[in-house]
Amino acid sequence: MSQSLLLPENHTGPLLRRRFLAVAAVLLLAGTYTVLVLTHPAGLTDGLGQTVALATFAAYLAAALMLLAAVLPDLPVATLSLIPVALALNIVLGQFVGSVFIPLYLDSLGTVLVGFLAGRRAGAATGVLGTLIWSLFNPTVLPFAAGAALVGFLAGTAARFGALRRPYLAPIAGLGAGVLVGVASAPVATFVFGGTSGVGTGAVVAAFRSMGDSLLSAVTKQALISDPGDKAIVFLLAALLIYALPARLNGGFAFVRRHRVLGSRGSR
Amino acid sequence: MHQLPRTGRLHPFTVLVLAAAVVAITTAAGRWWLHTAVLAGCLLLAARAKRAGKLVRLGAVILVPAWGSHLLIHGLIDTGGGHVLAAAGPLRITTEGLVTAGQLGLRTGVLVVAGLLCSMLIDRHDLVAAVDLSSAPPQAGYLLAATLSLLPRLAQRQRAIGQAQALRGIPLAAGPRGWWRSVRLRSVPLVLSSVQDAADRSAYLAARGFPAKGAHTRLREVPDSPAQCWVRRVALGAMVLGPVALLAPTWVGQG
- The answer to whether residue B24 neighbours chain A at the CB level (below 8 Å) is yes
B20 and B102 co-located in one domain? yes
A82 lies within 8 A of chain B by CB: yes
The answer on B123 and B21 residing in a single domain is: yes
Average pLDDT over chain B reads 87
The secondary structure element, H or E, covering residue B86 is strand B84-88
B173 pLDDT more than 90: no
Asked whether residue A30 is assigned to any structural domain, the reply reads: yes
Residue A1 lies in a domain: no
Q: Read out DSSP for B8-72?
A: TTS-HHHHHHHHHHHHHHHHHH--HHHHHHHHHHHHHHHHHTT-HHHHHHHHHHHHHHHHHHHII
Number of domains into which chain A is organized: 1
Closest chain B residue to the Cα of A69, Cα to Cα: B137
Higher pLDDT among residues B253 and B175, named by residue: B175
Q: Is the dihedral of CA B168, B173, B175, B181 positive or negative?
A: negative
pLDDT in tens, B90-112: 888 999 999 999 999 999 999 99
- Give the whole-angstrom CA distance, residue B28 versus residue A53: 9
Q: Which residues of B213-227 are buried (b: 16+ CB within 10 A; e: fewer)?
A: eeeeeeeeebebeee
CA distance B133 to B136: 8
Mean pLDDT calculated for residue range B140-153:
88
pLDDT at B4: 46
Nearest CB to A82; choose among B68, B73, B198? B198
Q: Is B77 part of the contact surface with chain A (CB cutoff 8 Å)?
A: yes
CA-to-CA distance for A181 and A105, rounded, in angstroms? 14
Is A4 part of a structural domain of the chain?
Answer: no
Q: Is B30 left (phi over 0), alpha (psi -120 to 50) or beta?
A: left
Is B147 an interface residue toward A (CB < 8 Å)?
yes
CA distance A127 to A112: 9
Q: Is B142 on the interface with A (CB under 8 A)?
A: yes
Q: Is A51 on the interface with B (CB under 8 A)?
A: yes
Please count the structural domains in chain B. Answer: 2
The answer to whether residue A3 sits within a structural domain is: no
- Which of B99, B36, B105 has the alpha carbon at shortest distance from B70? B105
Q: Are residues B114 and B203 in the same domain?
A: no
Please name the residues in contact with B228: beta carbons below 8 A apart, sequence gap of 6 or more: B10, B11, B14
Q: How far apart are CA B250 and CA B114, in angstroms?
A: 26
Tell me if A140 and B28 make a contact (CB, 8 A cut-off).
Answer: no
The DSSP 8-state label assigned to residue B222 in this structure reads P
Are B247 and A51 an interchain contact pair (Cβ–Cβ within 8 Å)?
A: yes
Structural domain for B44, as ranges: 12-128+223-246
Is B187 domain-assigned?
Answer: yes
ipTM of the complex: 0.85
- What is d(CA B145, CA B230) in angstroms, rounded to the nearest whole number? 27
Round to whole Å and give the CA distance between B183 and A237.
10
For residue A96, the chain B residues in CB contact (below 8 A) are: 158, 183, 186
Does A170 reside within a domain? yes
Q: Looking at the structure, do residues B112 and B200 belong to the same domain, yes or no?
A: no
Q: Are A66 and A29 in contact (CB under 8 A)?
A: no
- pLDDT in the model for residue A5: 54
Same domain, B25 and B115: yes
- Look at residue B178 in the predicted model and tell me its pLDDT: 76
Q: How far is CA A141 from CA A41, A189, B112, in A?
A: 22, 10, 10
One domain, residues B18 and B115:
yes
Interface test with chain B among A6, A18, A21, A51, by most B beta carbons within 10 Å? A51
What local confidence, expressed as pLDDT, does residue B154 receive?
Answer: 87
Residue B175 has pLDDT above 90, yes or no: no
- Which of B66, B73, B192 minimises the CB distance to A244? B192
Cβ-in-10-Å burial (0-12, 13-18, 19+) of A105 comes to middle
CB A235 within 8 A of CB A155: yes
Residue A105 within a domain:
yes
What string of pLDDT tens digits covers the 268 residues of chain A? 344 555 555 556 678 888 899 999 999 999 999 998 888 887 777 778 888 999 999 999 999 999 989 988 888 888 899 999 998 888 777 666 555 555 566 778 899 999 999 999 999 999 999 889 888 888 998 999 999 999 999 999 999 999 999 989 999 999 999 999 999 999 999 999 988 777 788 888 999 998 889 899 999 999 999 899 989 999 998 999 898 888 888 888 889 999 998 887 765 5
> CB–CB of A202/A195 below 8 Å?
yes
Residue B219 is given by DSSP the state S
Question: Does B81 share its domain with B115?
Answer: yes
- Please check whether residue B30 touches A, CB under 8 A: yes
User: Cβ distance A25 to A64 under 8 Å?
Assistant: yes
- pLDDT tens digits for B184-229? 788 888 888 888 888 888 888 888 878 777 777 778 888 899 999 9
B17 has pLDDT over 60? yes
* CB-based contact A199 B72, cutoff 8 Å: yes
**pLDDT, tens only, B76-85:** 888 777 788 8
Tell me which of A127-136, B7-16, B51-60 is least confident.
B7-16
Separation CA A82–CA A65 (nearest Å): 20
Which pLDDT score is estimated for B110? Answer: 96
Residue range of the domain that includes A93: 10-267
B168 and B56 both lie in a single domain: no
